[in-house]
Structure 1
Amino acid sequence: MAIRDDGGGRRALTERWSRTTVSSYGTPGLALVKGSGAVVTDDAGREYLDLMGGAATNVLGHAHPAVVNAVSRQAATLGHVSSRDVAEPTVLLGELLLALTGPGRVVFTDSGAEANETAFQVARLTGRSEVVATTGAFHGRTMGTLAFNGQPGRVHPFRTLPDVVTHVPFGDVEALRGAVSDATAMVILEAIQGENGVLVPPPGYLAAARTICTATGALLVLDEVHTALGRTGYWFHHQSEGIAPDFVTLAQGLGGGLPLGACLAFGTAADLLATGAHGTTVGGSPLSCAAGLAVIRTIAGMGLLDHVKRVGDRLRAGIEAVAHPLIAGVRGAGLLLGIALTEPVAVPVTDWLRAAGFLVDAVQPAVIRLAPPLVLTAAQADAFVDALARALVADPGPRPPARLLVPEAA
């Protein structure tokens, strides 16, 4: 049978997608063909400021020379190797991650869900079975991590799941203290709840979780899939509270656009990672790890941690200065921000901004999430703020969502 590559044509990509691909996220709105930094271009040649960063994955933006060069060199040298062998990029990246956190062990994975699944499986090796998670949480879509998600709509179709998970309100120290016991294998928390609308726990919450886990012998797992590697202005967001978790899970930006995750284990948790305790086929691929090395070295070399704090503060202040009745406030840290709205109009606002050339995420009905590349410039941040102010031109009173936002007259 002849295989025909039906490429070309503006209509082709979305139509071919609809014919061949399961639309887990709905039919894509744009067919993107290239990118540079924080800017992407569609198949009609129109440019957009990418404030989603490929779901917080392209931390260095699109086509960053450091990532392109590292992947190209590695692809021309050595591709994937089996789990019975080792390649230098994998070892170097493991060493570098532990240099940023502390002595421990690394399990490389393909995704954040698999990293969280790793922590779950290893925690069960303690002989305990119970897990404490939080309402509103999102930790992945494997059958194990679905059980941790505090989002019933996403979980219900896949029942029955592991039934040893207790959910408590995110940020509530006393509820957490009451749920954790000497039967708890692990407590899993997001450093900031991203999918739930960029919710930041109160100061001291993560430190209190550390104290509770230490007192009961439970393992503390911090899901930093969205918050690690400079996203909030720290290598890992938990470092802002100076705590030492038992596990840290990460993915998204680690591969700079290539699939790569990791589960970092410390102290006695690292000792549980005996031979045969866990495995993965493609996790830790030399190709992905070469990209990961380029990402971390570039973040350090460009001073992006400080840059993220400066531009993030500028972006936050600019949004707050819009002072529109539809804006309830801005939450988050660094370049992970949630614009809280007073009405459930995130989708029409997002649609208007997309039409104006700005890609953002309606993560909740009344929350717009921003997770742009860490290389976002001050000028680009200002351009978005100006566009947001223009988007919010409708009367703020109650009305049908479809009529809430209209473009300004040309």
Structure 2
Amino acid sequence: MSGLATTASVLLPIEKGGTNRYELAAPREWAKPSAPFTVRKAYAAAHVIPLVGADNTPGSPADLDWESTLAFRHELWSYGLGVADAMDTAQRGMGLDWAATRELIARVGAEARTVAASGTRATSGLTVRDLVACGAGTDQLELAAVHDGPRGVAMALEAYREQLATVEDAGPKVILMASRALARAASSADDYLNVYSKLLAEAREPVVLHWLGTMFDPALEGYWGSADVPTATRTFLDLIRSHADKIDGVKVSLLDAEHEKALRAELPAGVRLYTGDDFNYPELINGDGEHHSDALLGIFAAIYPAASAALQAYEAGKASEGRGILDSTRDLGLHIFSAPTFYYKTGIAFLSWLNGQQPGFQMVGGLHSGRSVQHLAQVFRLADRAGLLRSPDVAAARMASFLDVNGVAP
């Protein structure tokens, strides 16, 4: 990035009170790829954009700005990234209800078909499944109504089947998301193995299995039948080895790089490890010379131009350059995903607003209140340092208006 300062500046709050003037750097130009990526497979988990003026307050049905929401997905595709949709980044279980999710899956599937048919340089030859993968879970169930034991397990299975069919009918690759309902009802690892085995047998094409840690969703405590990670991992691997032909890959979101490295070395041939580690993604994507992780990451929705540039470097055989670009975004990732991690979505939406990709800093379910002014001011600083503010003037003006509304005095 150029070291020359622009005329854009803004007074930002500092930790001990008061403000200081922050001068933004010149914007960085990020090149788009000229061909699809082959060395690494990557999906950016995209957020959703609410309709300005709608009642997107806590507990209200989600009302989305479909034009802006889908435009953001086209932006990700233009940088050569796949889109992971209807996931936790899109506020599944935190404001995005099943009715809106079902419509999102249908709409993004239709958009992906048009992109696949258009054959742009970055997407030439890619299928709908390459372009988009969507989460299938059980969140149409009211958790309080889920029974303990076999009856609740059966409820979770039927809910999964409904959502599996919804995604398959729309065309995207299926991501079998972790289920709060199953976590509530299951009494042993066998309950997980039985439910997932049936779903994998019924799936039309290979799916992605998602293991989401409690830092993202505390309701998933004891997933795979044990709160002990090594024990849960053995169950997870038993499932994968028994159904490897129906598993495209696994997405692991435990924020534990050493666990991920050990797990990916144990996976059957042809089963990808899609890292969901938004802290350690640079080293995991880079790999250890024998194995590397592919990516299915929420942070890629925030850093997608840099992520694309890194993947272009790997494609050109310039691994050290690719790793360096990813490393340059790491501080931003660590900050956005800092505890309480499940509010990371707020930082991603804030950066989207700063970059002019949504008309207001709003989120469904009122989740834009999930981070402090100080936290979001640091998102602004770190995004600028990583070259991820597209227009410094626009970003500075929006940041100033946000601070003014929130009572930050010069």
TM tier, shorter chain?
Answer: 0.3 to 0.5
Structure 1 length as normaliser, TM-score?
0.32
More helix by share: 2
Of structures 1 and 2, the larger Rg is shown by 1
